[in-house]
Amino acid sequence: MRNSTGRERSSAQHPGALRGVRLGILGGTFDPPHVGHLLAAVDAVERLTLDRLVLVPASVQPLKAGIQTASPADRLAMLRLLIADDARFEVDALEIERAGLSFSVDTLSVFAERYPSAERFFLVGADVLRTFDRWREPDRVLELATLAVMTREDGSPAAVLPEGAIAIASRRIDVSATEIRARVAAGRSLHGFVPDAVAAYIAAHGLYRQGRECSSGS
């Protein structure tokens, strides 16, 4: 999915190449992406022995409509900075290119069509699972990929999993995009919360400053 010259290329160009491959898909608003996302992604790759993990930034997350503050283009750029040159990960902009509300069932349908012979895992945090019954076509979601619920290793009560879903142990460091946006608005440093390249992007583009509703871009 990456090549020697570009940041990435579409695996759709090589659909047969993913036969038997273990493919993870991690969606989110990534507003902004942070070290919690990165470590969860690393854990998922290791625990599920994934060959590849695709991070998919939402255009508009249906259950978060109205609270996003950075544009899709900025969130996409920051997500690329988050994964840097780590060959285990890639970013796919399909939800942003589709625009409008981003429903997991639509995205998973695309991955199922592109990679019918890959073993597909759809990764969600236990917090996200709490809203599962409000998702569009939850039963179809469960058919299109194995739902892999990232569960904390700290002994907190296990989430009740839908049938067919699996739990994977994953650390969850106490950081959220909400906290990071608040830190920027308060003029506090992001060092340690996001990779330095992401912090530099946020500063250079004036994201999340108080009073700003949405940055420029699409």
Min dist. Cβ of residue 85 to ligand ATP (A): 21
Whether 200 contacts 176, CB under 8 Å: no
Min dist. Cβ of residue 110 to ligand ATP (A): 19
Quick check: 75 binds ligand ATP (CB under 6 A)?
A: no
Interface pick for ligand ATP out of 18, 23, 31, 52 (rule CB under 6 A)? 31
Quick check: 56 binds ligand ATP (CB under 6 A)?
A: no
Counting residues that bind ligand ATP (by CB under 6 A) gives: 18
Q: Which is nearer to ligand ATP, 40 or 118 (CB)?
A: 40
Interface stretch with ligand ATP, choices 121-129, 140-148, 190-198, 203-211 (CB under 6 A): 121-129
Q: In angstroms, how far is CA 35 from the centroid of its own chain?
A: 12
Quick check: 178 binds ligand ATP (CB under 6 A)?
A: yes
* CA distances (Å), origin 9, targets 5, 84, 171: 10, 15, 30
Quick check: 55 binds ligand ATP (CB under 6 A)?
A: no
- Any idea which residue has 């840097």 for tokens? 84
Quick check: 28 binds ligand ATP (CB under 6 A)?
A: yes
Q: Which is nearer to ligand ATP, 17 or 166 (CB)?
A: 166
Min dist. Cβ of residue 24 to ligand ATP (A): 12
Quick check: 127 binds ligand ATP (CB under 6 A)?
A: yes
**Residue 11 CB burial class (10 angstroms; 0-12, 13-18, ≥19):** buried
Interface pick for ligand ATP out of 40, 54, 149, 194 (rule CB under 6 A)? 40
Taking the alpha carbons at both ends of the chain, their separation in whole angstroms is 24
Interface pick for ligand ATP out of 1, 25, 30, 56 (rule CB under 6 A)? 30
Which neighbouring-strand residues pair with 194? 191
Write out the binding residues for ligand ATP, residues 101-120 only, by CB under 6 A: none
**Which residues form the interface with ligand ATP (CB under 6 A)?**
28-31, 36-37, 40, 124-125, 127-128, 150, 172-173, 175-178
